[in-house]
């Protein structure tokens, strides 16, 4: 099995876009600058912008980050997990994974909360985590497994986020992303 690349082209693009949006929006403080990046207008009637053709809104909330810690934490995980996925599955798979995990996690967050003011790459990251966790655990040919301490830390963080002690967090996005990754990563037939 090939080694993990030193960098990922897709991760560099995701980080670049996220940093640009962070700079443009003063790290999420300037909601006027985020107007076209949110899944829906704050005072809109549901997902009418999307049904009227603004399909990019299904994905663009993944690029919004609120504060330097939020941005830094997510970009470090994109860098680390992205290298593995791109090395093992290729650029096309990685892009498709980000698109699907991003859209599903954004829709889940909006449909469960009806609040469009959310953002972050965490839904995609939990999807990547779930995928790598299942592949590493049940597919020996994958050639990579997450360390147990990483799995425990990610699951503890997931649970802590749901307590509300850490502030407003897009927990439905985390949950949907994790489910996408676990389902997509779990081998459907016995792998030996």
Catalytic position from the list 8, 25, 105, 174: 174
Instruction: Indicate if 44 belongs to the active site.
Output: no
Rounded Cα–Cα distance for residues 32 and 139 (Å)? 46
Catalytic position from the list 18, 87, 105, 122: 122
Angle at 11 between CA 145 and CA 89, to 5 degrees: 45
Q: Are 27 and 67 in contact (CB under 8 A)?
A: yes
Rounded Cα–Cα distance for residues 78 and 136 (Å)? 18
Q: Is 81 left (phi over 0), alpha (psi -120 to 50) or beta?
A: alpha
Burial class (CB in 10 A: 0-12, 13-18, 19+), 127: buried
Rounded to 10 degrees, the C-alpha dihedral 176/179/181/187 comes to -160
Instruction: Indicate if 70 belongs to the active site.
Output: no
Rounded Cα–Cα distance for residues 141 and 57 (Å)? 37
In the chain, DSSP finds a helix count (H) and a strand count (E) of 7, 0
**Which residue numbers are catalytic?**
122, 174
């Amino acid at each position: 099995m090939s080694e993990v690349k030193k960098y990922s082209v897709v991760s560099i693009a995701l980080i670049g876009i996220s940093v640009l949006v962070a700079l443009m929006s003063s790290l999420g403080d300037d909601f006027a600058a985020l107007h076209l990046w949110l899944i829906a207008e704050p005072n809109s009637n549901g997902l009418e912008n999307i049904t009227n053709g603004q399909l990019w809104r299904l994905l663009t909330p993944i690029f919004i980050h609120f504060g330097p810690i939020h941005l830094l934490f997510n970009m470090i995980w994109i860098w680390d997990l992205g290298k593995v996925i791109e090395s093992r599955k290729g650029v096309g798979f990685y892009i498709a994974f980000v698109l699907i995990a991003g859209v599903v996690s954004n829709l889940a967050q909006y449909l469960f909360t009806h609040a469009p003011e959310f953002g972050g790459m965490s839904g995609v990251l939990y999807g990547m985590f779930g995928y790598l966790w299942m592949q590493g655990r049940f597919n020996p040919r994958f050639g990579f497994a997450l360390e147990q301490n990483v799995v425990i830390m990610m699951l503890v963080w997931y649970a802590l986020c749901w307590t509300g002690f850490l502030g407003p967090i897009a927990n439905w996005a985390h949950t949907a992303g994790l489910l996408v990754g676990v389902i997509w990563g779990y081998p459907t037939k016995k792998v030996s």
